[in-house]
Amino acid sequence: MRALSQFFLLIILAQSVLAKGNVYVQSTKAKLLSQPKLNADGFPLSLGESLSPVSEQGLFVQVRAEGKMGWVSKLFVSPLPPGNQIKLGVTSSSSEAVVARQRASDFTKTAAARGLSETQKMRVRGEGELYDFESLRWLESVPFDTENTSINGGYTKFEDSNIRNFFFSHSEPEVLKETKAEVKLGRSLAARLLKKYSLVKDSEFTSYLNGVATRLATVSSRKDLNFRVGIIESTEINAFACPGGYIFLTTESLKKINSEAELAGIIGHEMGHIVLFHNGEFEQSNEFIDVISSLLAPPGTEVVNAATSSLLDEMEKQLFETGRDMKFELEADEAAVGLTSQVGYSPVGLSSYLNTLSKSEGMDSLKKTHPETNVRIAKLVFYESSISVESSANIKDRWQEFKPKLKP
């Protein structure tokens, strides 16, 4: 019970945007729509524009903007103000890294003074039996495939140009403290996941997956996150989203994919959980969050204390046993349709993939943490009917180049 109490003290689960005050436009795809549908008539909103929420309907929020009322997709706005993108896998001599090293040293000294065993000391430091930060740092170091993210005339260049113009026309934004706290927690949870499953360290394959993810991320509201997609070795059919932008797909899940549109749909679903704050929102000022891990610390100084370890126990249980609320899973499905269609992928990719899964075995893990596949497909068909697909002329489906890499 104590661990559960700490869990709810540390994380405020995703709530109505009406309780958060204003929301901020963080995607050039954001429009003030006449109806709560992505294909409704509307006019573009400006990056960084502040909107006043009035009501909600599914994945849309009704807002006031310049004296007008309309709807905007939650995929394109955020309760967080615009901030700079966080850098991952960076070694720094900054004050944060210095503080992290001191905390790591202090934690070890405290553990020794208390007579803790070596295993207990490693638990406090974030190493040993529970965490694999080394594999996580490898994932953070893999460069992205530019074929999917730097296409001539493609949406990624358009998005990046607009974002740069916005940032450089304003004072250079800082990385938000909320983003730092979210990524610190997400890194610790991801490192736990990689201790449970082996990370497939194929740079080319991983780079390709991250290229697809980056393309999707360019139209979302989470420009502050540096999304990373990793492959984990498992015979289970499942995928996982950790706070801060960490997404993992099992090898068995990848074997069921037939096209890049399906791959984008799966990544879009997991990204939806993160973009829509289904993992919760985080405050840097919280004393527990503050000592979870150091983002910029040199290897070996990630800090995970005992209180945080209890929190991560609860989050890990949600990933593998209890699952998220059904409402969140269906919202993430709708988010996948929205994100994929906005960058030119077929919006039916996720439903096509789920249709394949509905005829497959080895679904125990997925069924335990997700709604019935047939229910999800029925909802997706409804979502797909209200979507206008952007031009896909610039997308080359490269999935068949990579699928043979998966062992039979």
Domain assignment present for residue 34? The answer is no
Domain assignment present for residue 152? The answer is yes
Looking at the 3D structure of the chain, how many domains does it have?
Answer: 1
Identify the band that residue 93 occupies on the pLDDT scale cut at 50, 70 and 90: very low
Mean pLDDT, all residues of the chain: 78
Is 337 buried (19+), middle (13-18) or exposed (0-12) by CB count in 10 A? Answer: buried
User: Which residues is 206 bridged to in the sheet?
Assistant: none
The tens digit of pLDDT for each residue in 119-148 reads: 454 444 555 578 898 999 999 999 987 665
CA distance 32 to 65: 8
Query: Which residue stretches of 197-297 are H helix?
Result: 203-217, 251-255, 260-275, 287-290
Domain assignment present for residue 81? The answer is no
Residue 304 confidence (pLDDT):
66
Domain containing residue 367? 95-405
Of 97-106, 312-321, 362-371, 372-381, the poorest mean pLDDT is in: 97-106
Convert 9-64 into a string of H (helix), E (strand) and C (coil): HHCECCCCHHHHCCEEECCCCCEEECCCCCCCCEEECCCCCEEEEEEEECCEEEEE
Of 95-104, 178-187, 375-384, the poorest mean pLDDT is in: 95-104
Domain assignment present for residue 327? The answer is yes
Q: What percent of the chain has pLDDT over 90?
A: 45
User: Which residues is 61 bridged to in the sheet?
Assistant: 56, 72
User: Smallest Cα–Cα separation from 342: which of 20, 10, 27?
Assistant: 27
- Across the range 85-96, mean pLDDT stands at 61
Domain assignment present for residue 24? The answer is no
Domain assignment present for residue 401? The answer is yes
Residue 12 confidence (pLDDT):
40
DSSP assignment, residue 357?
H
Domain assignment present for residue 18? The answer is no
- Residue identified by tokens 């988010």 is 335
Domain assignment present for residue 80? The answer is no
Q: What global pTM score does this model have? A: 0.82
